[in-house]
């Protein structure tokens, strides 16, 4: 049996950032991922501005910049075939220029993370699937699984960090996933070549049967993600349904009419779920394993990176004190919920809103009439402002006032 101070399951941004942080502090970290890198993943492929400082601390930002990635100024929204409305990220205190978000393919991004983890001294084991936890009393004390040659392996460690995403072992082992009430959402994504994107924004178009996010990822390629209720597919071929739904919207058609879809659609089901607390010691969950946020209200990479930073702080204290009980690690749950619960609430609220054409149109109209209000909302979506800024009665009253003013003026 191999030994480590920490086992990390999953080689995406969440797992790699946790592994890098702990390895640089002198801990022996083993990272296992069932994939062979580089590999692709369904993702909006833009990283909110608030992630830049974290990426810089990890040593990843400069390497991303060598790819000459696109920098997006904000979001451009249209509601049910209405006119597009662009909103820049808000200027931050002490900065001369407005922040921007990175737009980079996950194929390239995840490869950079894995390479940086190896450079930091992490033992990265690709094509190694963790299938079980090892237990002693009420604590996880390691993991076992199978490598690429179907050879069994076991690793002992006092702490395991599960960054296995929406299908993480922890979620299945302990039945922690809480699906949202209502229709199951499905995200469908593909890259296009030759899209006519006129400015550096992430374009969000809301219309039946769902909404899309379109962003330029460089090299004349755009990532087009469609999110719909699963039942709306009605058994139709995924590629045909995706193309028909995407091009049905007039705003999207203007962008994509001369473009070519380069690949079969990739799909991801069951968006925006929440997760119950870990029921044992010796285990932390980070990234999408701790809950998946709807892409309309932000992308998951910042949440992955930030949750890993918190997990590293908690892990270091546990390792120094040799204390890995559920109670000792519970501070992670407390901090995680305090930092992210309002963002998840905002996701649920906006999901209800954009599915109602009348209310969606009115909110977009109100935002058009009040630039400060619009930038506040985009600041929250970009993780530059806390979610409670807009999940509040004050923001709602300001929104109503802006809408009423617009009605009066018109």
Quote the pLDDT of residue 272.
Answer: 66
Report the CATH number of the 185-269 domain: 3.30.9.10
pTM of the model: 0.91
Q: For the segment 330-385, what is each residue's pLDDT rounded down to a tens digit?
A: 999 999 989 888 888 887 788 788 889 999 999 999 999 899 999 999 999 889 99
Indicate the range of 5-9, 199-203, 273-277, 386-390 predicted with least confidence: 273-277
Cβ atoms within 10 Å, residue 260: 10
Q: For the segment 376-399, what is each residue's pLDDT rounded down to a tens digit?
A: 999 998 899 998 998 888 888 888
Cβ-count burial 69-78 (b if 16+ within 10 Å, e if not): bbebbbbbbb
Q: For the segment 122-181, what is each residue's pLDDT rounded down to a tens digit?
A: 999 999 999 999 999 999 999 999 998 999 999 999 999 999 988 899 999 999 988 767
Question: Is the backbone of residue 322 left (phi > 0), alpha (psi -120 to 50) or beta?
Answer: left
Decide if domain 2-69+104-178+273-343 falls under CATH 3.40.50.620: no
Residue 303 has pLDDT above 50, yes or no: yes
Confidence of residue 261 (pLDDT cuts 50, 70, 90): very high
Q: For the segment 19-39, what is each residue's pLDDT rounded down to a tens digit?
A: 999 999 999 999 999 998 888
Quote the pLDDT of residue 87.
Answer: 96
Rounded to an integer, what distance in angstroms lies between the CA atom of residue 177 and that of residue 57? 31
Q: For the segment 165-214, what is each residue's pLDDT rounded down to a tens digit?
A: 888 999 999 999 887 677 778 889 999 999 999 899 999 999 999 999 99
Cα radius of gyration (the chain): 22
Quote the pLDDT of residue 410.
Answer: 41
Q: What is the DSSP string of 318-342?
A: HHHHT--SHHHHHHHHHHHHHHHHH
Please state the domain extents for the chain.
Answer: 2-69+104-178+273-343, 185-269, 356-409
Confidence of residue 296 (pLDDT cuts 50, 70, 90): low
Quote the pLDDT of residue 384.
Answer: 92
More confident residue, 183 or 289: 289
Quote the pLDDT of residue 352.
Answer: 81
Q: What is the mean pLDDT of the chain?
A: 90
């Amino acid at each position: 049996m191999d030994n480590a101070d920490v086992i990390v399951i999953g080689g995406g941004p969440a797992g790699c950032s946790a592994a890098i942080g702990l390895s640089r502090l002198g801990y022996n970290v083993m990272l296992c991922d069932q994939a062979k890198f580089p590999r692709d993943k369904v993702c909006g492929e833009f990283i909110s501005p608030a992630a830049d400082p974290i990426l810089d601390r990890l040593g990843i930002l400069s390497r991303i910049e060598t790819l000459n990635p696109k920098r997006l100024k904000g979001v451009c929204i249209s509601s049910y075939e209405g006119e597009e409305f662009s909103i820049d990220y808000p200027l931050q205190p002490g900065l001369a220029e407005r922040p921007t978000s990175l737009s980079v393919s996950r194929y390239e991004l995840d490869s950079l993370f894995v390479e940086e983890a190896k450079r930091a001294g992490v033992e990265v084991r690709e094509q190694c699937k963790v299938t079980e936890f090892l237990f002693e009393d009420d604590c996880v004390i390691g993991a076992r699984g199978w490598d690429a040659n179907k050879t069994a392996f076991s690793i002992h460690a006092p702490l395991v960090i599960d960054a296995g995403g929406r299908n993480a072992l922890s979620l299945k082992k302990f039945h922690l996933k809480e699906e949202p009430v209502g229709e199951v959402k499905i995200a469908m994504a593909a890259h296009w070549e030759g899209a006519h994107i006129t400015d550096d924004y992430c374009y969000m178009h809301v219309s039946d049967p769902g909404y899309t996010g379109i962003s330029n990822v460089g090299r004349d390629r755009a990532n087009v993600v469609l999110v719909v209720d699963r039942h709306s597919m009605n058994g139709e071929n995924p590629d045909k349904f995706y193309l028909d739904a995407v091009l049905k919207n007039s705003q999207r058609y203007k962008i994509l009419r001369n473009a070519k879809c380069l690949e079969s659609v990739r799909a991801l089901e069951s968006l925006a779920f929440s997760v119950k607390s870990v029921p044992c010691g010796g285990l932390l969950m980070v990234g999408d394993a701790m809950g998946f946020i709807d892409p309309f209200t932000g992308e998951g990479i910042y949440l992955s990176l930030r949750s890993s930073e918190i997990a590293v702080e908690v892990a270091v204290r546990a390792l120094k004190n040799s204390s890995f009980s559920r109670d000792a690690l519970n501070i992670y749950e407390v901090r995680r919920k305090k930092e992210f619960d309002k963002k998840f609430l905002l996701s649920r609220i906006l999901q209800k809103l954009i599915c109602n054409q009348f209310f969606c149109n009115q909110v977009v109209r109100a935002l058009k009439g009040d630039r400060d209000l619009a930038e506040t909302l985009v600041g929250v979506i970009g993780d530059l402002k806390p979610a409670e800024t807009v999940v509040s009665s004050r923001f709602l009253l300001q929104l109503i006032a802006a809408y009423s003013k617009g009605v009066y003026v018109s």
